[in-house]
Structure 1
Amino acid sequence: MIESRSGLASCHPPLSARPPLRLSERLRRDTPLSIIRAPHGFGKSALVAEWVRSADATGSTSVLVPPPPVGVGPEGFWRLTAERLAAAGALAEAPGDDAAAYPAIRDELTRSGRPVGLALSRLDRVCDPVLEEQVVELVDLCDRLRVVVTVVGRSAFGDPFALDPTHDLLCGDDLLLQRDELGEFFAIDGALVDPDELDLVHRLTGGMWSLVEVARAVSSRLPASADRRSLLEARLAEAVSDHVRTTILAAPDVVAHREFLVATATAHTVSIETACFLDVGADADRHLAALEAAGVADRRDNASGPQWQVPAAVRRELRAMQSEDGMDPAARSTRLALHLRERTDHAAAVRCAVEAENWPLTVELVEEHWVGLVGAELDLLRHVLLTLPESVFDANPGFREARDLVASLDGYRGPDGAVVPDPEDLRLLVSADDVGKAVGIVSHQALMLRLAGRYESAADLTRQICLVVREIMEARPDDLSDLLPFLRMQWGLTYQLAGDLSESTATLRLAYLSGSARHLDYIARNAAGNSALNWALTGESERVSEWLDLERAHPPADEAIEPLIRIGGLTASALTALDRLDIASAEAALAQLDELPVIAELWPFVVYARCRHAVTTGDPFRALATLDVFADKRKRVEGEFVRSLLTAAEIESHLAAGNGSRAYLLAERTNCDTPWSVVAVARTHLITGNHQSAINTCRRYDWLGTPYTRSHLEALVIETAAQHGLGRVDRANQLWRRACELADRTGIRAAFAGVSRELVVALGDVAAAGRSETVAGYLAAEVAEQYPATLHRPELTDRERAVLGGLADGLSAPAIAHALFVSLSTVKSQRTSLYRKLGAHSRREALAVAREFGLLPSKDDRNGGRLEREACW
C-alpha cells in the first residue's frame, strides 16, 4: 500500500519501477489541472502514484482517490473524495448525510488556502457531465489546489479544445516508454541490459508499460548465456502473447467484440469506412465506442475524421488470431493496401504492403511516393528499407544504395540520430572502387543530418566531403563528373541553412553552371532560385533579379519535384517585394507557398517571409500564429543561424503586436551575433525607450566586414531614431544621410516603416543630403507604420488592470468577480486577455512580468487601490 504524508493508504501496490523523468516533470509543472487519457496498461496509475509521492515531498497534502464504482453519480463520487480528503487532513471532517459533498469540499478548500494535490482516478466511470464542470470550477476557485485526473476514452474531458490554456493533457502516445528510457526501467533489478536487448524489448512491447513489466520479469529470469538474446526473444514473445490473450482480450467488456477486433486488425488505424471495407461495418460505431470505453482502442482525430488504434502488441496478436480463424492476413493486407492507395493514404498503404510481404507493391508505392515518405514518414521508410529481402535489392539497385545508407548510420534512431562520419573514413573515399557510390552515400549522411535540423553538423561534414571530392577530381575527374552538379546543389543548400551564405552562393553558382552545361534544368533552376534567396536575405535586389531571370530561363521541373525547386525563388521574390513595399507582388509569391511540400527544407525562410509580410501589412498576430504552427520544427533545429532568424522574427512580431513584455524578455535572452538579432534587439531597446542601449546594440555587428545590406540599413535607421531621441541632432543627420544613400542604391523602402512617419518627415526636412527618392517613395506608398513609436510597457485596459490587481492580492477568479460585481466568465475573459498581453501562461508569470514593467502598485497602495479598481467596472 502507498501512504501519503497524511498516512492515507492508496489502492495501488508499490511500484517496481518509476515513470520516466520527462513525465514526472511534466506533472510537476505549476499546472492547475492535468488530464491523463490513455487505454489500460499505459502506466496511468504508476504516474499518478509518483506524482502523489512528489507532492508529499514538497509539503503539499496529497490525496489519491481510487476509481469510483461504475455508474456512480457526482454526489457519490464527491463523498468518496471527501472521505479521502478528511482522512488526509485536507478537510476538517467529511460532510454529513444531510449536506451535499461537492459544495462542502469547494467551500473549505477555497477558505483554507493550503496547498493540496488531488489525484482523481477514472472519472470516465461517472456518467454525468456535471462532474467535469465541477472539477474545472474547483480548480478555478482554489488557487493552491493542483488536480490530476485519469480517464479512459472520451466520455470525460473529451474535447481537448475546450480545455483552459493553463490546463494540460497527456495522451497514450505521451505515456509510451521510449527506447532510451527502458534502460532505467530495467536498472531497478541492478541489471545492465544489452542495447540489442532493449531494441528487442521495445519492438515486442511498443513501450507499453504493462508489457514492459512483463518483459522485465522475463529478462530477470534468464541466465547470462551465449544464447540469452534468442531465449529472450522467444520467451518474451510467448509472455506478451499470453498477457494480451489472458489479460487484455479476455476482459468481460472486450470478449463480445472479439470478431470485430480480429477482422479490423488488418488496419493500423480503424475508421468506420475502413471497417466497412473489411466487411465488419455493421455496428462498427458501437464496437469502436465500446472498445474505447473498455480501454483497448485509443481514439485519434484527424482531418478525415475519428480513427481508433489498438496497441501494437495487441494488434500483432490479433493478426495471429486471423490465421487461427482461417483468414489469410497477407491477402487481407494486400487488399487493404490497394484500397488505401486509391484513397491517397500512401503511408498506410505502404505499411499494409510490407505486412503482406507483397514486395512488388511495396517497391511500387515507395517509388511513387518517396518524396512524401521522406518528409512525413521517415521512420516508416527506414523500416521498409531494412525489411525488404535481398532479392528486391538485386532487382532494384537504387533501393540497395538507400538501404546501405540507412544501415551505415551506426546508432541511427530516426533522423535525430544521424551521425557524423570519422574524417579518417572520408579519406578512404579517394581510393574507393566505386567513387560515385561512396561519395553519394556519405553525402546522403549530410542530407540526413540536415533533415534532422543539425545544419551546422551537416555543413561541417560537407566541408570535409568537398576537400575529398576536390582531391578525387584532380586524380579521377571522370568518376564524379556526372554526380558533381547534384552534389554542388546539395552542398549549397546545406551551407545556406547553416547560415554560411557566402560559401552557399559560390557553391550554388558552380551548381548552376554545371547544371546548365549538362542540360540538367532542374538543378540549374534550383540553384538559381536558391542563389536569389541568398541575395534576398542580404538585401541586394539587383542580384536577386539577375538570378530570378536565370531561374525563369529554365523550364519547370517534373510536377513531383517542382514544388520543392520553386521555394527558393518564390521566397526571394516575396522578400524583395516586401523590401520595395510592393505588397501585391509579395502576396502573389507567398500565395504559391501556402501549402508547402512535406519535405520543404527551406521552411525557415518561408516562415520568415510570412512573418515579414504579416508585420508589414499590420497583422502581427498572424505572424505569431505562423510561428506557432512551426513550433515543433523550431524545437528540433540545432542551427544557430535559423534559430536567430526566427527568434528575430518573433521579437519583431511581438513588438508590432504591442507585446512589449514578451519582446523584451526574448531580447534579453538573445545573443546579438547575427544581423537579424542585432536589429531585433536594437529595435526593442528603441521602442521601449532605452535609446543608448539601442545605439550600442546597432554597433555590435561588423557591417562592413560581413555586409548584410537590409539589416545594415535597418540598423542605421534605428540608430538615427535613437540619436534623435537623445537630442543628438548632428549625429542623427549624419546617420540619416548614410541610410538614404544605402536605400537609394538598393531601393529598400521597408526599413523606414520601422520608425514613426513623423520622424522620417522631420529628418528628411533637416538633413542636408538632398531629396532621397527611396524615402519619397516610402512616404508616397502610405504604408502603415509597422511598430508603435513607444512601448514602455504593455497597454492594459482598466478592466485588465483591475483583474491584475486582484491576482496580485492573491484572490481567486470568483473572488475577483465578487469584489468587482461582475460575472466569473467576464473575469476569465479578461484574465485570458491579460495573460496574452503579458506573454504569460500562469498567475506567477503574469505577476513577474507585470512587476518588471511597473504595472503593479506597491504593497502600501494595494488596499487603497482596490476601490479604484472596482470603479473601473
Structure 2
Amino acid sequence: MNCALRQLDSSNPAAALDYAVEAQDWTLAVDIVEQHWISMISRHLPTLRAALQHIPSDAADKHTAVQAGRALFGIVHTDAPGSLSLLPESPAELQALGASERAKDALSIGCVQSIMLRLAGEYERSVDITRRLSHLSRSALEHNPDEVGAQLPLMRVQWAINYQLHGSLTESTIEARLAFHGGRSQGVDFITRNAAGSTAMNWAMVGEPLHALHWSELERKYPDPDGWLEPLVRVAGLTARALTALDVLDLEHADTILTELGPPLESEELWAFVVYVHCQAALAHTDPFSALSMLHRAITAHTQHHTPTSFAHPLLRSTQIDLLLALGEGNKASALALSIADPAADPWTLW
C-alpha cells in the first residue's frame, strides 16, 4: 500500500493528498479532493489549494468539485456549464433545481462558496447562500435521495458553522441536529459528535442549560476522533460544558473544562465563543483584568473575522462592556455602549 493510501486509512486526507500530488497520481488526488474537500477546506486550506494548483486540467475537467475549487481559488477560469453559477434565489427555482440531475453538483459548488465566504469573513453572504442550500437540499432529498443523501450530513455540519459564526443560532441548531441524525444513521462518529457539540453550544449560548446538557450527554457517547479532526470536533462541546457548569456556579468543574479547552488558537473559527466562555469564568472568579487582556489579544489576532456581520462583533462588545463594568470603568463601558448604532438590532447588545 502506498503512502497516500496509508494516510487515508489513518483518517488523514491532507497528508494523503500531499503524497498523491508528489507521486503525480492525479486520479487518486482528484478522488481525495472530491471525498474530503468539505473537511479540508476548513482545516487544511493551504494543502487543498496547493493540490488544486498542481492537478492538471485534463484530470479535473469532469469533476465539478475540483473545477469549482480551482476557479474559486483563481487558479483557472472554467467554462464548464453552471460550474460557478450562483444558486437561484426563488423557492420555486430552488425546488426545480433540487429535482434536476444538477442538484448534487449545485450542492457541492454552493457549499464550497459558502465556506469560502465564511473563511473570508463574509458571514452575511455565506449565510445567504446557506439558506438557499438548505432549501435546495430538501428538494434534492425528496427527488434524488440516492444521489445527495451521503454528502448531506457533513455539509450540514458546515452549514451549522456558517450560521453560528453569523449569530443565527436557531438555524444553526436546525442544521446541526439534521447533521447529527444523518451522521448517526451513516455511522460516522466525528460528524455525529461534532453536530451534538455544536447543538449543545448553541443551547448554552442562549441560556438553555437543560437542552445543552442533553446534547452534551449525546456528544460524549461518541469517541474523540484521532489526528487533526480532534480539536475541530471538541471545541464546541467543551465550550458548551463549561458554560453549563458556570450556569450552576460549579466553578471547579468549569475550570477543569477550560483548562482542557485552552485559549483560542489563531486558526480556531469558534475563537469568539472560546473567548466568551473564558471571560464568563473570569467574571465568576472576579478576575476581569486578565480576561479583558485576552479579549483584546484575540480580537487583534482575528481582525479578518471580527466584522460587522460576524457574531463575534456584538458578542465580544457586550462581553467587553461587562468586563469594564466589573473593573469599575463605568465611563468606558458607557462610551462603548453609546458607540453601538442600534443596540436593539442584536440581543447581545440590548441592555
The answer to whether TM tops 0.5 is yes
Query: Does the CA-based 8 Å contact 1:586-1:613 persist in structure 2?
Result: yes
Q: How does 1:351-430 map to 2 (within 5 A)?
A: 358=22, 360=24, 378=45, 381-382=48-49, 384-390=51-57, 393=60, 401-408=65-72, 421-423=86-88, 427=94, 429-430=97-98
Higher relative contact order (CA 8 A, sep 6+): 2
Shift of 1:524: 1.3
Paired residue for 2:213? 545
Name which of 187, 202, 215 aligns with 1:519.
187
Work out which of the residue numbers 657, 676, 681 in structure 1 matches 2:327. Answer: 657
Q: How much does 1:561 deviate?
A: 0.6
The 3 A distance-change label for structure 1 pair 597 and 391 is farther
Partner amino acid for 1:564? L
Query: Amino acid of the residue matched to residue 508 of structure 1?
Result: A
Question: Residue type matched to 1:500 in 2?
Answer: S
TM-score normalised per structure 1: 0.33
Give the aligned partner of residue 11 of structure 2: none
Which position in structure 1 is the counterpart of 2:117? 449
CA distance in 2, matches of 1:515, 1:422: 26
Query: What is aligned with 2:275?
Result: 607
1:770: which partner in 2?
A: none
| Alignment partner, residue 503 of structure 1 | 171
3-state DSSP class of the match of 1:421?
A: coil
In the alignment, the residues of structure 1 paired with residue 49 and residue 209 of structure 2 have an alpha-carbon distance, to the nearest angstrom, of 42
> Aligned letter for 2:348?
W
| Pair 1:441–1:646, CA change in 2 (3 A) | same
| Identity across the alignment (%) | 36
Give the 5 Å matches for 1:504-653. Answer: 504-594=172-262, 599-632=267-300, 633-636=302-305, 637-653=307-323
Of 342, 348, 351, the residue aligned with 1:676 is 348
User: 1:585 & 1:630 partners in 2: Cα distance?
Assistant: 24
> What letter matches 2:347 in structure 1?
P
- 3-state DSSP of counterpart to 1:658: coil
Report the CA distance between 1:462 and its aligned residue: 0.9
The structure having more radius of gyration, on CA atoms, is 1
Q: 2 CA distance for matches of 1:361 and 1:638?
A: 44
Query: How big is each residue's C-alpha offset from its partner over 1:504-536, in whole Å with a ceiling of 9 and x where there is no partner?
Result: 222222221222122121111111111111110
Distance in 2 between residues matched to 1:549 and 1:388, nearest whole Å = 43
> Kindly tell me: are residues 616 and 654 of structure 1, through their superposed partners in 2, closer, same or farther at Cα, counting changes over 3 Å?
same
CA contact (8 A) 2:41 2:115 kept: no
Given that residues 492 and 504 in structure 1 are in contact (C-alpha distance below 8 angstroms), is that contact kept between their aligned partners in structure 2? yes
Q: Which structure's residues are more often strand, by fraction?
A: 1
Unpaired runs of 5+ residues, structure 1, are 1-345, 413-418, 680-873
Deviation at 1:361, TM superposition (A): 9.9
Aligned residues: 316
Q: How much has 1:422 moved relative to structure 2? A: 4.9
Cα distance in 2 for residues equivalent to 1:663 and 1:627:
15
The structure with the largest helix share of the pair is 2
Q: Where do 5+ consecutive residues of structure 2 fail to align? A: 1-13, 77-83
Distance (whole Å) between structure 1 residues aligned to residue 197 and residue 86 of structure 2: 30
Cα displacement string for residues 267-302 of structure 1 (whole angstroms, at most 9, x for unaligned residues): xxxxxxxxxxxxxxxxxxxxxxxxxxxxxxxxxxxx
Deviation at 1:411, TM superposition (A): 11
Relative to 1, partners in 2 of residues 1:448 and 1:620: Cα closer, same or farther, differing over 3 Å? same
Contact 1:607/1:627, CA 8 A, preserved across alignment? yes
**Distance change (3 Å), C-alpha of 1:631 and 1:484:** same
AA aligned opposite 1:505: T
Cα deviation, residue 478, structure 1: 1.8
Q: CA deviation at 1:642?
A: 2.6
Take 1:542 and 1:424, find their aligned partners in 2: how far apart are those partners? 37
Aligned partners of 1:375 and 1:599 also within 8 Å: no
CA RMSD of aligned residues (A): 3.7
| Contact map agreement 1:501 1:534 (CA 8 A) in 2 | yes
Q: Is the 8 A contact 1:372 1:599 kept in 2?
A: no
1:496–1:377 Cα change, 3 Å? closer
**Matching of residue 436 in structure 1 with residue 127 in structure 2:** no
Give TM-score, length-normalised by structure 2: 0.77
Q: Which residues of 2 match residues 47-86 of structure 1 at below 5 A?
A: none
1:569 CA drift (Å) = 0.9
Equivalent residues of 1:371, 1:599 under 8 A apart? no
The answer to whether the 8 Å contact 1:525/1:552 transfers is yes
Q: Give, as a single letter, the amino acid of the residue that structure 2 aligns with 1:659.
A: E
Change (3 A) 1:457 1:420: farther
- Counterparts of 2:38 and 2:331, CA distance in 1: 42
| 1:165-193 CA-partner distances (Å, limit 9, x unpaired) | xxxxxxxxxxxxxxxxxxxxxxxxxxxxx
